[in-house]
Structure 1
Amino acid sequence: MASYEVVICILTFCCLLAASLGALLLYSRLPERYQHEETVAIIRLIGNVFIVMTSLVLGLMINSARNTFDGVDHNAHVIATDMILLDRTLRRYGPEADDMRARLLAYVRHARDSTRPKSDPLIMGDPLSEQLLTATGDDLKTLKPADTEQTNLAQDAHTIYQAIYELRWELVEQAEGTLPLPLLVMLVAWLMLVFASLGYRAPNNRVVVCSLVLAAALIAGTVYLILDMDGPFSGLIQVSDAPLDRVIAELTR
């Protein structure tokens, strides 16, 4: 089944191609009064106005998608660092925390190796994943420190675990993307008008047709990459698994 980004990309390509080639073929069939130079000039002027508007909106969409991707990538590194710190804290606590360290390692391995749904890099939709992380937190509550040092380490472990849990849900929220569908529909409509103005009164030859097809494909590809970047856990542009690999390497040392 095709992804949302691929469907939007294909629809965008078809719409732009239909608008440009439709205007190209329609021009020769219009009555002569619609082929005056003044009419063509107005159509091109309107097209130029929307070229500026679509350029601005595309720039804003790229910036928004990039900010989403960078924010998720940053949080993925932060949560990886916190997991390493939690393991180090539990290791210092003593053998009583070995079971918790094992559950934390199992959670990280499960998050890295499982087939993860689009919505969550740490497999929100998997009950086992949720159980492994929650069990680690529950076990922390059962610690019974024997001295002041262990008391401080237990408090530090609770604080780090809470940060991990909060970051996990923050990643879930960020994974949903920020680009609204109505804005995307409006952008495609503006692009259709621009491509129609390009095709209107253009020479009907293979060079022009190939140029319009190529331009439509490149614009559709740009829209795909923007949407793909806005969903950092699927598609061609994804947040790297390297932080999780680093966590596993550190937890198994």
Structure 2
Amino acid sequence: MNHLMIASVVFICLFGSALLGSYLRGRLPSQHLSDESISVVKLATGLIATMAALVLGLLVSSAKGTFDTTSAELVGTAAKVVQFDRVLSRYGPDTQEIRSLLKHNYAGVMQVLASRDASQIAKLDSPEAINRSEELQRKVEALSPGNDAQRALKERALLVMDEVFATRWLALLQANGSIPFTMLAILVSWLSIIFGTFGLFAPRNGTILAVLMMCALSTSAAILLVEELNRPLDGLIGVSLEPIRDTLGRLGQ
């Protein structure tokens, strides 16, 4: 489901619960709104609010960790691609075709990542993308070293290529994280209970409704932030692509 749609559903649930609570306030018998009743409900709501805050904080921390890890892996991959290109350059003119193919493939990856489109990014793990990577590897393996120095450079190039592939697949796998639906449903239900009690005990006027709406918007924005950070390659918030652009400019030099 689209992240903005998820945030919209969360907002509707929370603000709707607040309106429901405000509606019930005028229809409950007075004993249900006595000081003793309010005290008990406030204690129960405080417990739920504490649990919700802990879960929401855990989700934000986990999503931020995914975002930072993916960003670091992209930077590491960019650095290794430059290293791979320089190793091929030191090998000699026999690798010119491989270096040109490397730059072409890397430009394609850059274009896909810049689109921030999940369907396009999924193609980076497609059989076609894997075949392009394996074709590049086969071309390196087909090199015929003429001396010990070229033999060592060929082995080094293959080693760096394996590291690039491993880091790339890891980044793609980690970037597909999402909040388990059950956890999100439980969290939203807790938050809905909290907002329902807000509406139940608050007087009904324009200021209160505006405040409750702002609170619901802020909370749904927090859920949106978690969803976005948990998928750092697509969506509204994505990792910086500057290291990849810088690497692309260095390839083939």
Distance 1:13 1:27 in 2: 21
Amino acid at match of 1:36: S
Q: Does the residue aligned with 1:138 lie in a helix, a strand or coil?
A: helix
Q: Does the residue aligned with 2:226 lie in a helix, a strand or coil?
A: helix
Distance 1:122 1:189 in 2: 32
Q: How does 1:116-195 map to 2 (within 5 A)?
A: 117-118=117-118, 123-124=123-124, 129-195=129-195
State the match for 2:62 in structure 1: 64
Q: 1:129 offset after TM fit, Å?
A: 3.8
Q: 1:112 to 1:236 in 2, by over 3 A?
A: same
* 8 A contact 1:119–1:175 mirrored in 2: no
Amino acid at match of 1:224: L
Q: How does 1:227-242 map to 2 (within 5 A)?
A: 227-242=227-242
User: Which sections of structure 2, spanning at least 5 residues, go unmatched?
Assistant: none
**What's the Cα RMSD here?**
1.8
Give the TM-score taking structure 1 as reference length: 0.93
Q: Does the residue aligned with 2:124 lie in a helix, a strand or coil?
A: coil
State the match for 1:48 in structure 2: 46
Q: 1:199 offset after TM fit, Å?
A: 1.2
What does the per-residue CA deviation read over 1:185-243, in whole Å, with 9 as the maximum and x for residues that have no partner?
11111101111111112101111111111100111011101110111012221011112
Instruction: Point out the structure with the larger helix share.
Output: 2
Amino acid at match of 1:100: I
1:32 counterpart = 2:4: no
Amino acid at match of 1:31: P
Q: 1:92 offset after TM fit, Å?
A: 0.5
Q: 1:244 offset after TM fit, Å?
A: 1.4
**Fraction of identical pairs, as percent:** 27
**Structure 2 residue aligned with 1:22, among 2, 5, 20?**
20
Q: 1:52 offset after TM fit, Å?
A: 1.1
Q: Does the residue aligned with 2:234 lie in a helix, a strand or coil?
A: coil
1:78 counterpart = 2:76: yes
* 8 A contact 2:99–2:252 mirrored in 1: no
Moved over 4 A (4+): 119-123, 125-128
Q: 1:119 to 1:83 in 2, by over 3 A?
A: farther
* 8 A contact 1:24–1:200 mirrored in 2: yes
State the match for 1:110 in structure 2: 108
State the match for 1:247 in structure 2: 247
Distance 1:91 1:10 in 2: 52
Which has the larger displacement, 119-128 or 146-155? 119-128
Give the TM-score taking structure 2 as reference length: 0.93
Distance 1:234 1:209 in 2: 34
Which has the larger displacement, 125-134 or 194-203? 125-134
Q: Does the residue aligned with 1:200 lie in a helix, a strand or coil?
A: helix
Distance 1:171 1:22 in 2: 44
What does the per-residue CA deviation read over 1:7-37, in whole Å, with 9 as the maximum and x for residues that have no partner?
1100100000111111011111112332222
Q: 1:68 offset after TM fit, Å?
A: 0.1
Q: 1:140 to 1:192 in 2, by over 3 A?
A: same
Q: 1:169 to 1:111 in 2, by over 3 A?
A: same
Distance 2:156 2:243 in 1: 22
Distance 2:126 2:159 in 1: 25
User: Which sections of structure 1, spanning at least 5 residues, go unmatched?
Assistant: none
Amino acid at match of 1:239: V
State the match for 1:95 in structure 2: 93
